[in-house]
Structure 1
Amino acid sequence: MHISQSIKDQQRAYAERLLLALSEELQARRVTHVLVVTPDGRTTLDVTDSRGRVRRVFVHLPFCWFYWGDQQDERVSFLQMAVAVDRIEEAAQEGWADGEQGDLSVDLNKLLDAYRG
């Protein structure tokens, strides 16, 4: 069972609205960032840390998170925007963790297809 395109479009639009709201808050705090769309179609914010390194902040809708890696301290609930902005600003000021950025996205359709095979 594939998720309908309409639902995916609604989810993408909601994630984009959340990132735009986050962008406005980060702009007010002078945190350098750019709204981009990844090659796979996900909207994200590229946020620059105090050392000039960029991490992508994504939205994980099922868990209501903004996240910038796969570690426990690299995610924050978007349900409390002020707290989320504080945490992302703090993480950018401290500097992103060394190494490659982890990703929490999972394409459930690929998992389902693997079991149908």
Structure 2
Amino acid sequence: MRTSQSVKEQQRAYAQRLLTALREELALRDVPAVLVVAEDGRPALDVTDSRCRMRRVFVQLPFCWFYWGDQSDERVSFLKMPIAVDRIEQAAREGWHEGEQGELSIDLDKIVDAYRG
């Protein structure tokens, strides 16, 4: 079962609204963030840390997360925006983890297909 295009468009628009709200809050705290569209079409924020290194913050809608890597300390719930802003600001001020940005990739369509049998 494929998700209809209109649902995907609605999800992308919702993710963009969440990221826009996050960008506005980070700007109030002098944390540089720019709304972009990733190569795969997902909206993201390019957030610069205290060492002038950039990481992309994405939205994982099914789990209600903002995430900027694949480690457990690189995600935060967007359901409580003030806490999410605090956490992302803290991570940017401390500096992103060394190395390449990990990708948190969970394809729920593949999980659903596995149980269809």
Q: Hey, what's the Cα distance between the residues in 1 that align with 2:107 and 2:62? A: 12
- Kindly provide the CA deviation profile for residues 75-104 of structure 1, in whole angstroms up to 9, marking residues without a partner as x: 000000000000000000000000111111
Query: Any stretches of 5+ residues in structure 1 without a counterpart?
Result: none
- RMSD over equivalenced CA pairs, Å: 1.8
Code of the residue aligned with 1:87 in structure 2: it is: R
Task: State the match for 2:20 in structure 1.
Answer: 20
The share of aligned pairs that are identical, in percent, is 72
Q: How does 1:57-96 map to 2 (within 5 A)?
A: 57-96=57-96
Q: Normalization by structure 1: what TM-score?
A: 0.91
Query: Any stretches of 5+ residues in structure 2 without a counterpart?
Result: none
Q: Hey, what's the Cα distance between the residues in 2 that align with 1:19 and 1:105? A: 18
Q: Hey, what's the Cα distance between the residues in 1 that align with 2:4 and 2:112? A: 15
Q: Normalization by structure 2: what TM-score?
A: 0.91
- Kindly provide the CA deviation profile for residues 36-83 of structure 1, in whole angstroms up to 9, marking residues without a partner as x: 001110000000000010000000001000000010100000000000
Task: State the match for 1:100 in structure 2.
Answer: 100
The aligned length equals: 116
